[in-house]
A and B are shown apart, each in its own frame.
Chain A
Amino acid sequence: MKPPPFTYHDPATVSEAIDLLATLDNAKLLAGGQSLMPMLNMRYAQPDHIIDLNRVEGLSYIRENVDGLEIGSMTRQRDLEFSDVVRRICPLLGVAIQFVGHRQTRNRGTFGGSLSHLDSSAEIPTVCAALDAVLQVQGPAGVREIAFKDFPTGYLTTSLAQDEVLLSVRLPAWSPGHGFGFEEFARRHGDFAIVSAAALLEVGPEGQITRASVTLGGIGSAPLRVTPAEDALMGTSGSDENFAAAADLCQAIDAFDDIHAPASYRQHLAAVLTKRSLKVAWTRAKTNQGD
C-alpha cells in the first residue's frame, strides 16, 4: 500500500498555494495527513499534485477575539487539546477534541484539515456545526466567508472551490456560564464515532432555556443541526420529558446504513446521545448559574 506517483509542492505562502490550486489539475492539499495519507496509501485518491501546507506561515494560531475564538486552519489538534483559551471560551471544543483519534492523530492532525475533510461523524465539523462557525477562505478572487450551514454540499464534499484555501474559522462564543455537552458512541476508545451529539444551552434566570443548539454527527452526510429539536426546547425547563421530546425529534431524522451500524441503530443512538448531551449541558448550565 504505497502512494501513487505525484508532483510535490510545498508553498511558503497562502498566495502560492492558491496559485498552485488555480493552475494545477487534480491537485490535493495536504495538511496533517491523517485523512489524506491513508487514502493515498490505499490508492483511493490518486492526485497528480500534492500541495503541502505545512510550510505556510501564519495559519496556526488560536486567538481570542470579542466574539469568541479564531482558529487558524493549520492549528494542530494537539494545541487545541492543551489550550486554556479554548477551554475557557469554547469548552465544547475543549471536550470534543479529546475524542479525535489518538495522541498520534492529534499531534499531526489539523483543525482545518479535519473540517475540510468533513467526515460526517468527525468531532471538529460537528462542533463547528453546533457553534455556527464562520469559515474564512481565500481564492484567486480574494477572501470570503462561508457560514458553516453553507459549507457541506454532500458526503465528504464542501462548498470550497477547487482553488480556495481555508484560512481560519471563527467560533462565536456562547455566553459565560452556558451549558455544553458532547456525547459520542464509538466501538473502541479513539475510534470514529458511530453517532455523536453536541448540545449547547443557555438558561435564563427563571430556569427556562433561552438558547439551544442540538447537533448530530454520523446521521446525515455531514454533521447537522436539528432545528426542530432546538425550537422545541426554547422556553422549556430542563426536564427529562422535554429532553426526551427533543430526542424523539432527533430519532426521526433519516440516517445512513453502513457496516458498522444500520440506520435504525443510528437513529436510536441519536435519541440516546441527544438526551445525554442535553442533560449534561443542562447540569453544567445550572451549576454555572449557581456560581
Chain B
Amino acid sequence: MNTELLHETASGGRSGVQAFADSRKATLWEMLTSERYFKWTLLIPLLVLLIIFMLYPLFYCMYYSFYEWGMQGNALFVGLHNYRQMLNDQSFLEALGRTFKVLVICTVSELAIGLGLAMLWNREFKGQNVVRGLALLPLMVAPLVLSLLWNFLLEYDFGAVNQILSAVGIGKIYWWSPELALYTICAITIWQWFPFSVFVLLAGLRSLPKDVFEAARVDGAGEWYTFRRLTLPMLSPLIMIIVVLRSMWLIRLFDPLYGTTRGGVNTELLDWRVYRTAFVYFDIGYGSAMAIFSLFLTIAICAVMFRLLMKSFGEV
C-alpha cells in the first residue's frame, strides 16, 4: 500500500510539496496499520461513538440529577434533594415495587413454560420445523404492535378472548381492572417472550452429552430423578443467561404499557414513571435522578451477565 502510493506520486510528477504531504500521510497510515497500533485504529469509530453516546448522556444525567430544572430558564442546584425526594416518593416506590413484581412473575413463568416445552419438543417429530418456526414469531414482532393487538383482544365487550370465554361458559373478565391490569400486562409479556426460554433451553438440551443419560438409564434412574439431578444442573448456565437477559429487558418495560393502560390503573412501572416525570411534567432534575437509579440497577445485573457471557465464549 505504502510503496504503491509513493510510486504513483513519483511517476505522476507532482510538486515536491504534494509528494511530501503524501509521504506524511503514508507514514500516518503506516503507523495506524502497524502491528502495534492496528488494534486501536480499528476501535477508533467505536470509541468516538462510546464517548458521545455513553459518557455524555451519563454525565449529563448525573449533573442534572443534582439540579432542579424545567427545561426552561436557569437550573437551580439542589444537591441531593432529588434523590431524597425519590426515596420518599410513594408513587416512585410503588412503581419500583411493581417493576420487581413484573420481573419475578415474568421470568419465573417464562422459565417454567420454557422448560416444559423444551423438554416436550426435544425430539424428532413430524413438522418440527413448522412448529418451531411458528413458535418463534412473537419474538420478532414489534412489542408496541403486540400491546395494541392484545389491548383489543382483551377488550371487555368486543374482545375475542372474552367472547370465547363467555361462549365456553366462564364468563367475561374485566382484564383492565385496577386489580388485574398489571397481571394482564405480565401475561402479554410472557406470551411474547416465552419462546425465548423455550429455544435457549432447547439448544441446551440438544448439546447435552447423550452417554450420561444412557448411563443413568442403565443404572435405573427414574425420569424425575434424571431431570432433577442431571438435566437441570447441566442447564443451569443457560437458565442464568435467560434470567439475567430477561431481567435487564423487563426493568425497562415501556412499549406494552403504551399500547394498553398508559401507566393507569395501577400499572405504572419504573421507566414509565421516569418518562412521565421528564417528558410530561418536564421535571428534568428529578427524572434524571430516577434514570440514574434505574441505570445502576441495570449495571449491577449487567455485570453478572457479562461474566456469564464470557464464560460461555470461553467454553467454545
**A and B from one assembly?**
no
Q: A residues near B, CB below 8 A?
A: none
Q: B residues near A, CB below 8 A?
A: none
